[in-house]
Amino acid sequence: MRFRLFGLILASALLSAPAAWAASYTLDADHTTIQFKIRHLLTPVAGSFNQLEGSFDYEPDHPESWKVQAVIQAASIDTRVSQRDEHLRSADFFEAEKYPTITFESRKISGYDKAAGAAKLEGDLTIRGITRPVILDLEIHGVADDPWGNTRAGFTATGKINRKDFGLNWNQALETGQLLVGEEVQILLEVEGIRQ
């Protein structure tokens, strides 16, 4: 009798406990953008990557269950100048034929602040076959249903990397001694996913 009562109490506790699992979402490429900025001489030049796929696991208020993975096609880089884009695809930069993809895989979420709707997304970024840890500032937009019956979740992520950490070393010295291209790259991700 005692064991049966204990079993009922345990079952009740488990049923009333918050869900430890997370819903899976597929990135909606039509509503997801990957943008970057880097200094050229005096002012930043902006660009984006136009081909990507990925997924994430998300359950509100359970950051321990959140996971992200994404694959970007390096050759899809777009700075609105075709000659510059071809140079960026070359061995001087991304060497897209040899290293066709850029990947990101999360390791953990830290600094979750429910009131602010913010957290830190920590993961591994791989460019040109070189993997380095990165930390992105995550802004959590929440979950909503669209008019077509899909459940969506949205986020904004920002961060900075040094391109030389990933073997993107090309540069050109000017007469003043200044380098033509900066090393710091600013990253802006606007992400929307559809629940599976």
Q: What is the CATH number of the domain that holds 41?
A: 2.40.128.110
87 lies in some domain: yes
5 lies in some domain: no
15 lies in some domain: no
What is the spatial distance between Cα 80 and Cα 165, in angstroms, rounded to a whole number?
Answer: 25
Supply 64's token pair. Answer: 């321990």
167 lies in some domain: yes
Range of the domain at 170: 20-195
pLDDT at 177: 85
Name 155's bridge partners. 140, 191
Name the domain count of the chain: 1
For residue 44, the one-letter residue type is P
Nearest Cα residue to 106 out of 143, 129, 130, 136: 136
Which string of b and e fits 49-60 if b means at least 16 CB within 10 Å?
beebebbbbbbe
Q: Residue 173 gets which letter from DSSP?
A: B
30 lies in some domain: yes
Query: Per-residue confidence of the chain (196 residues) as pLDDT tens digits?
Result: 544 544 444 444 444 444 457 999 999 999 999 999 999 999 999 999 999 999 999 999 999 999 999 999 999 999 999 999 999 999 999 999 999 999 999 999 999 999 999 999 999 999 999 999 999 999 999 999 999 999 999 999 999 999 999 999 999 999 888 999 999 999 999 999 999 9
Helical H segments across the chain, by residue range: 2-16, 82-89
2 lies in some domain: no
48 lies in some domain: yes
Provide the pairing of β-strand 101-113 with 118-127: antiparallel
